[in-house]
Amino acid sequence: MRRPLALAVLLLLPLSAAAQALPGNDQFAGQLLSGQADQVAEVSPGVAVPLWRGADGRVLMLGAGRQPAGVSAADAPLAFSVVDAGAVATNGVLYRLSPSLQAHAGVTEHSWANAPYRVLGSEVGATYSAGRYSLGLSMGADAVNSAARLPRVLPGALPGVNGLSSFGSSTQLNARGRVALDASSGIDLGASVGRIHLLPGNLMGIDTLDQKALSFGIDRGPLSGSLVGRVMQPSAGIPGAYSPDRRWSSIDFGVTWKLPWQGQLSVGAQNLWSSGSSTSTPVGPEPDQSRTPYVQYHQDL
């Protein structure tokens, strides 16, 4: 058990260093693209993947990218507000052990414009593919870079995680499956179970929340849609919890259209439906369950 854990830590160390130097991501991608043509493939604008192939079919791939916060994965275990002004940087490594089995490790960084706060995340996992079907399992962790509440970018809007301005850290176990209907369409199913730790002295007066999330997605060609449901409640047996039976639930919905000119148009709503009674605080309810419709356009240059 100690050897796999040590190996995972060693894999993440260089990636964590890369993620903390955001201004170097574009330079890093440029260096990768300057390699030999038969060793490098550009999978999308700003994301470069050098390829190493072993004689037995093994492949090692590295990647780095940066995109606006609003176009991050809609079915991720944690939800970031779509009205946040910021960016998401990713760095990762993928090792294909065989045609049907691959392992991956990566780090992400969610940053806010004109604010020193960041949410750093890491994930280690593996995916098994069998023709039209694939199943992946991973372990992830996220944490803020300082013991301070995340900033309010817009009046009355909380840019925290899962509507929590007092988010401190989280750990989660993720599972994801996909069924390919044909070469250009498929169905994705995801599930996540985790625990969220709040910053000390938060307005809710509790330390830990349990979270469960389910996601359903379908895509066909350039169109894709996702439906994500989340449930949070104070952890049972944790001092300061209101009640083990108190829950907050929400459903997010979004549709994305990838345009032919490397653009992307997304429409949807966060907290399209919600239930449960949140806690009243001097700055409003927390977690924030207000319905937030959005229309976003992203253009790669």
For residue 107, what pLDDT is reported?
A: 94
For residue 254, what pLDDT is reported?
A: 93
For residue 281, what pLDDT is reported?
A: 57
CA distance 286 to 120: 22
Tokens matching residue 31: 């260096």
Supply angle C-alpha 285, 282, 165, rounded to 5.
55
Supply angle C-alpha 189, 271, 161, rounded to 5.
80
One-letter amino acid of 164: L
Please give the span between the terminal C-alpha atoms of the chain, in angstroms, as a whole number.
45
Q: Within a 10 A sphere around the Cβ of 6, how many other Cβ atoms?
A: 10
What is the 3-state secondary structure of the chain?
CHHHHHHHHHHHHHHHHHHHCHHHHHHHHHHHHCCCCCCEEEEECCEEEEEEECCCCCEEEEEEEEEEHHHCCCCCCCCECCCCCEEEEEEEEEEEEECCEEEEEEEEEEEECCCCCEEEEEEEEEEEEECCEEEEEEEEEEEECCCCCCCCCCCCCCCCECCECCEEEEEEEEEEEEEEEECCEEEEEEEEEEEEEECCCCCCCCCEEEEEEEEEEEEECCEEEEEEEEEEEECCCCCCCCCCCCCEEEEEEEEEEECCCCEEEEEEEEEEEEECCCEEECCEEECCCCCEEEEEEEECC
CA distance 39 to 162: 40
Q: Tokens 């160390």, residue?
A: 13
The answer to whether the Cα torsion of 135, 107, 145, 82 is positive or negative is: negative
For residue 59, what pLDDT is reported?
A: 81
How far from 237 is each of 9, 142, 197, CA to CA, in Å?
31, 23, 14
| pTM for this predicted structure | 0.75
CA distance 299 to 301: 6
For residue 197, what pLDDT is reported?
A: 93
Residue (of 133, 119, 122) closest to 13 by Cα position: 122
Strands 101-112, 284-286: parallel, antiparallel or unpaired by DSSP?
Answer: unpaired
Kindly provide the b/e burial profile for residues 199-214, where b requires at least 16 CB atoms within 10 angstroms of the residue's own CB. beebbbebbbbbbbbe
For residue 171, what pLDDT is reported?
A: 97
For residue 40, what pLDDT is reported?
A: 46
From first to last of its 301 residues, the chain has per-residue pLDDT tens of: 444 444 444 444 444 433 333 334 444 444 433 444 344 444 554 455 656 777 777 888 887 778 877 666 667 888 887 776 678 888 888 898 988 999 999 999 988 776 677 899 999 999 999 989 999 999 999 998 865 554 444 444 445 788 887 888 999 999 999 999 998 999 999 999 999 998 887 777 788 999 999 999 999 999 999 999 999 988 776 554 445 456 789 999 999 999 999 899 999 998 899 887 655 555 556 677 788 899 988 887 7
